[in-house]
Amino acid sequence: MEIIKSLNNALDYIEDNLNSTIEIEDVAKVAYLSRSHFQRMFHALTGFTIGEYIRNRRLTLAAEELTSKDVRVTDVAIRYGYESIDAFTKAFQRLHGVTPSKIKKGNIRLKAFPKLSFQISIKGNCELNYRIIEKDSFKVFGVEFETTIADNLLYEEIPKFCDKIWVDGTHQKINEFLGYPKMHMLHGIHYDFKEDGSRKYMMGWEAPERDIPKEYKVLEIPSYTFAVFDGKGDSLNRLAISDLWKRIYLEWFPKSGFKEVEGAYIEKYFWDDSEYNQYTCEVWIPVERR
């Protein structure tokens, strides 16, 4: 429960400093988390990056202030951290659909982005399964690309990437190299996380004890303790894995004796032989005891 309290303290810190410079590093410290872990947890729980949340809160308050006839657009822009009217106008219009100057005319529909708060949701009919695995160092190989959590692009780009390597035959070539059938599902590996929210994503498999073709990226993953979670999905619900991620951060980490460590995060998929178009997905997160 302490992590939920810490996250809410971080939200309070943001709210108290919307008129000042906010460093994500400082917000993460309030939550007693590293910057990278805070960013991942915040995005998994809310669907927003911390930067997007701060921007939307500032633009919500800016719109409220601009409904007063006694304030100038320039003053409001500066108060909420914008160095130019053009930058403020573009950001404002992106959220509210109108320019700041039009608000002065009245009768304008605006969007309110309220302050968030985190709560524990107790559900008695939907358990979250997990196991702890000690795994020695190993190598994975496959094809990769770079994506980002900004604007939730990874939820759009990862499925497109998976479709691309299926259509162009890369998925089948990897399975043929491994001696697996065509429909065998590859693993997804998130790694090389950057402060701006970007990361590398690989589709591949554990590397066998033989030479890997040079066309593939080879990544060495050191020895970790992994918390492994599983859930169910189907071919129509391609975001089932994102629902599992959210439950891990909202339901498991706040009550567990473990915390994340920096490393590679693995998603595994297995077709369920007994159910048509159903699959089991697993999330492997490197952890250590608190």
pLDDT tens digit sequence for 156-187: 899 899 999 999 999 999 999 999 988 888 99
pLDDT of res. 182:
83
CB burial of residue 121 (10 Å; 0-12, 13-18, 19+)? exposed
When pLDDT is averaged across residues 18-26 and rounded to a whole number, the result is: 92
Is residue 199 over pLDDT 70? yes
Residue 69 is predicted with a pLDDT of 66
Q: Tally Cβ neighbours within 10 Å of residue 12.
A: 13
Integer angstrom CA distances of residue 182 from 28, 99, 173, 210, 281 = 44, 53, 9, 21, 19
User: Looking at residue 276, what is its pLDDT?
Assistant: 63
Whole-number mean pLDDT of the chain? Answer: 87
Over residues 3-25, mean pLDDT: 91
Domain 129-289 matching CATH 3.40.50.1110: the answer reads: no
| Per-residue buried b or exposed e for 229-254, using 16+ beta carbons within 10 Å of the residue's own CB | bebebeeeeeebbbebbebbbbbebb
Q: Single out the residue of 84, 107, 114, 178 nearest to residue 140, CA to CA.
A: 178
User: Between 256 and 185, where is the model more confident?
Assistant: 185
Q: What is the DSSP letter of 237?
A: B
Helices (H), the chain: 2-16, 24-30, 35-46, 50-66, 73-79, 85-96, 100-103, 153-167, 170-178, 240-247
- Give the CA-trace dihedral at 267, 44, 155, 96, to 10 degrees: 180
How far apart are the C-alpha atoms of 122 and 217, rounded to whole Å? 42
| Per-residue pLDDT reduced to its tens digit, 87-121 | 999 998 888 888 888 876 666 778 788 888 877 65
Q: How far apart are CA 155 and CA 162, in angstroms?
A: 11
Q: Domain residues of the chain, as ranges?
A: 2-103, 129-289
pLDDT at 265: 95
What are residue 279's DSSP bridge partners?
Answer: 233, 271
Can you give the pLDDT at residue 58?
A: 93
Structure confidence at residue 170 (pLDDT): 96
pTM of the model: 0.72
Same CATH fold assignment for domains 2-103 and 129-289: no
C-alpha to C-alpha distance for 85 and 72, rounded to whole angstroms = 11
Q: Topology of domain 2-103, per CATH? A: Arc Repressor Mutant, subunit A (1.10.10)
DSSP 8-class letter at 77: H
How would you classify residue 263: left for phi > 0, otherwise alpha for psi between -120 and 50, otherwise beta?
A: left
Place of tokens 């320019």: 99
Are 216 and 204 a contacting pair, CB within 8 Å? yes
Percent of the chain predicted with pLDDT > 90: 45
pLDDT digits (tens, 9 = 90+) for 269-278: 888 766 666 7
d(CA 166, CA 196): 29
Instruction: Output the pLDDT for position 124.
Output: 47
